[in-house]
Structure 1
Amino acid sequence: MIRILLAEDDDAMRTYLTRALEQAGYSVSAVSNGMDAIPLLENEIFDLLLSDIVMPELDGIELAQRCNEISPGTKVMFITGFAAVALRVSRETSNAKMLSKPFHLRDLVLEVERMFEDQALALN
């Protein structure tokens, strides 16, 4: 089962995304900020870090950089509602996927599926 670490500071959005991803068959650990994600990355193996970009203390880009140091095999996808932030992401984290808010949950699940298509094919 694909394991996802979700970092999202908005409580309602975090609950909404967690529920949708779990219903799609993923295992999700959710935290409210980047600082809470670090110990999980250090102690568990995740296939995907799904992170909001704009968060207090440790933003999503900094979290992704730390994730790459701690767990280089973990894929990264960002979610954001800010176009200017999206431009920064494309400059600083070229291998990460980006999903702009608002988005339909179906679009999120499809993007996650696309990220792991190769892995799914290898299992068949």
Structure 2
Amino acid sequence: MLLVDDDASLREVMTHLLVDAGYSVASVSSGFEAIESIRQRAPDIVVSDCAMGDFSGVALSRVLREIRPGLPILLLTGHADLESVRAECQADAVVLHKPVSLQCLVEGIEALLH
């Protein structure tokens, strides 16, 4: 899995939680790093924050899907209007509202992988 979040402390905590849940996790701090990572090695899934400095999660998901069509993407947002974020994704990704429990995150990941 590739985890994308520009908040270093959150990225570190999420990485540890996901590894403890049994996933192999590579993490990057920006959309640009995610694009480079995807070009080198395709993960099974991308989990990304929606609000980052260089890319929105929605824009990033579109770019990543151009590089790797069909790549499962799960976006996390703290945006108050979750439905508008989901509509903007146009069904390109699953969107979960932060804060999200580990159980909900794992359920979202598993739903996309199967």
TM-score (structure 2 length as normaliser): 0.90
Instruction: Summarize deviations over 1:43-92 as a string: whole Å, max 9, x none.
Output: 10111111101100122111101111001131011001012365134233
Does residue 112 in structure 1 map to residue 109 in structure 2?
A: yes
Instruction: Summarize deviations over 1:15-60 as a string: whole Å, max 9, x none.
Output: 1111111111111110111111111111101111111011001221
Does residue 97 in structure 1 map to residue 97 in structure 2?
A: no
CA distance in 2, matches of 1:42, 1:86: 31
The aligned residue for residue 4 of structure 2 is 7
CA distance in 1, matches of 2:53, 2:25: 21
Q: Matches of residues 1-124 of structure 1 in structure 2 within 5 Å?
A: 4-84=1-81, 87-117=84-114
CA distance in 2, matches of 1:103, 1:92: 19
Task: State the identity %.
Answer: 33
Q: Bigger radius of gyration, 1 or 2?
A: 1
For residue 93 of structure 1, report the CA deviation from its aligned partner: 3.2
**Gapped runs of 5+ residues in structure 1?**
118-124
CA distance in 1, matches of 2:2, 2:100: 19
The aligned residue for residue 120 of structure 1 is none
Helix, strand or coil at the partner of 1:64? helix
**Gapped runs of 5+ residues in structure 2?**
none
* CA contact 1:61–1:89 (8 Å) conserved in 2: no
Equivalent pairs counted in the alignment come to 114
CA RMSD of aligned residues (A): 1.5
Helix, strand or coil at the partner of 1:51? strand
Helix, strand or coil at the partner of 2:106? helix
Helix, strand or coil at the partner of 1:109? helix
One-letter amino acid matched to 1:36? E
